[in-house]
Amino acid sequence: MDPALLPPALLHVPYVGARSPGAPAVLARPDLAAGANCQLYAYAVLAHFGRQVPPLRSSELWEDRAATMRVTSPEPLDLLLFGPTSDPYGAHVGVWLGPEQILHLCREVGQPTVWSTADFRTRARYRVLIGAKRVGA
């Protein structure tokens, strides 16, 4: 999937760590103009393509079996979780676009970017690919 297929509003989202799924500030102002963390951003990208994810935090997302399923071979629009260890608590979430293309929002870059799995492995906080989840279409 080509990131250029995303509307400009999803390409220019500022990173704001406190704006996570279900946070009071997000409930009061759900648009992404005020920023997002990685999960809120990934869920908005999926919503653009008609895939709804409940407001799950990363460890809840990893354990969820109702709205998502674990997959071993990611496909476009699957969610990938990364962390310093295999513990999903506080994991970073990105969207698989295709081979070696993961769209995500992180503090380091400050706006949406595309990295490869190798890019994630070079950073201690993202070095472990915890796994992939597929959201029902």
**pLDDT, tens only, 9-41:** 899 999 998 888 877 877 767 789 899 999 999
Domain ranges across the chain? 3-135
pLDDT in tens, 68-99: 999 999 999 999 999 999 999 999 999 999 99
Cβ neighbors of 81 (< 8 A, separation 6 or more) are: 58, 61, 62, 88, 91, 92, 93, 129, 130, 131, 132, 133
pLDDT in tens, 97-124: 999 999 999 999 999 999 999 999 999 9
Contact 72, 106 (CB under 8 A): no
Model-level pTM?
0.93
pLDDT for res 95 = 98
pLDDT for res 37 = 94
Higher pLDDT, 7 or 1: 7
Instruction: Tell which CATH classification among 3.40.50.10490, 3.40.50.300, 3.30.410.10, 3.90.1720.10 matches the domain 3-135.
Output: 3.90.1720.10
Mean pLDDT of the chain: 92
